[in-house]
Amino acid sequence: MTTIVLASASPRRRDLFSKLGLPFEVRPVNITEDVPDGVRPDVTVRKLARIKAESARLRDSQATIVAADTVVVLDGRILGKPGDPDEAREMLRALRDRWHKVITAVAFLPERKSSPLIRHPVTAVRMRNYSDDEIDASITRGDPFDKAGAYGIQDPVLQPVASYETEPGGVRGCYCNVVGLSLWVTMEMLRKVGVAVDARVEQLLPQCADCPLALI
């Protein structure tokens, strides 16, 4: 069986990928994640995922490589990872009680190939009306600083998300996409690049059972 490389330092992506029951190796890559002005968020996130995959290919010419990047988009503006408490506070206040989009691009490089396949599911997210005190407590815990948009949908304390849908007012969206790696998309694309994966829904997260991206 070909080696599968997850080119990501994210512990959340590692935990999600492990649900598939496939042997894999975590080999993060370091790239500059600059977000240029005036470029569409979907174009930006696809480019970052592709660069990560191609950077991983330079280290390993034979493995099947999976790379991903996530952006939070509010009013057309990309919110990256906050660099300090003030930036985290500004992001969480801006997102509060509003809709935004989360886009996670996933790039797949088949064994011995240099041209990636890329998909970028989009999930609409509505934040609840949390208080300034809750924001400050989250910052004190250090929760926002490794996450795009300064939050995690899976945060058991802040519980920042009120709902997640395909679009505002639509059906339930992809939970894993907001965490940082859509499991259904990952399985679909791995199969397309020749990796046999047969994870059952019971192995995944409970939210995967009614995901609109579920494999038929």
Provide the 10 A C-beta neighbour count for residue 119.
Answer: 18
| Angstrom distance (rounded) from CA 206 to CA 114 | 35
Q: What is the mean pLDDT of residues 54-68?
A: 93
Q: What is the pLDDT of residues 149-178, one digit of tens each?
A: 999 999 999 999 999 999 988 889 999 999
Structure confidence at residue 216 as a pLDDT band (50, 70, 90): very low
Alpha-helical segments (H) within the chain: 11-18, 41-59, 85-95, 132-141, 175-179, 183-192
- What are 15's two structure tokens? 């935990």
∠200-196-216 over CA atoms, to 5°? 45
Q: What is the mean pLDDT of residues 87-116?
A: 95
What is the identity of the amino acid at 22? Answer: L
Asked whether residue 105 is domain-assigned, the answer is yes
Q: Which of 34, 37, 42, 69 is catalytic?
A: 69
Instruction: Please return the burial class of 210, using the count of CB atoms within 10 Å of its CB with bins 0-12, 13-18 and 19+.
Output: exposed
Is the pTM here over 0.75, yes or no? Answer: yes
Q: What is the mean pLDDT of residues 102-116?
A: 92
Q: How many domains does the chain have?
A: 1
Kindly state whether residue 215 falls inside one of the protein's structural domains.
Answer: no
Does 69 qualify as catalytic in the annotation?
yes
**Two structure tokens written together for 110:** 């088949």
Residue with tokens 């959340």: 12
| pLDDT band for position 94 (cuts 50, 70, 90) | very high
Structure tokens of 78? 């990309």
Q: Is residue 70 part of a domain?
A: yes
Q: Is residue 127 part of a domain?
A: yes
At residue 169, φ and ψ (nearest 5 deg) are 85, 5
The boundaries of the domain holding residue 69 are 4-210
Say if 148 falls within a structural domain.
Answer: yes
In a domain, 216, yes or no: no
| CA nearest to 51, candidates 107, 9, 102 | 107
* Residue 80, Cβ density class (10 Å: 0-12 exposed, 13-18 middle, ≥19 buried): middle
Residue 154 belongs to a domain = yes
Mean pLDDT of the chain: 93
CATH number of the domain at 130, please: 3.90.950.10
Taking a C-beta distance cutoff of 8 angstroms, is the pair 67, 8 a contact? yes
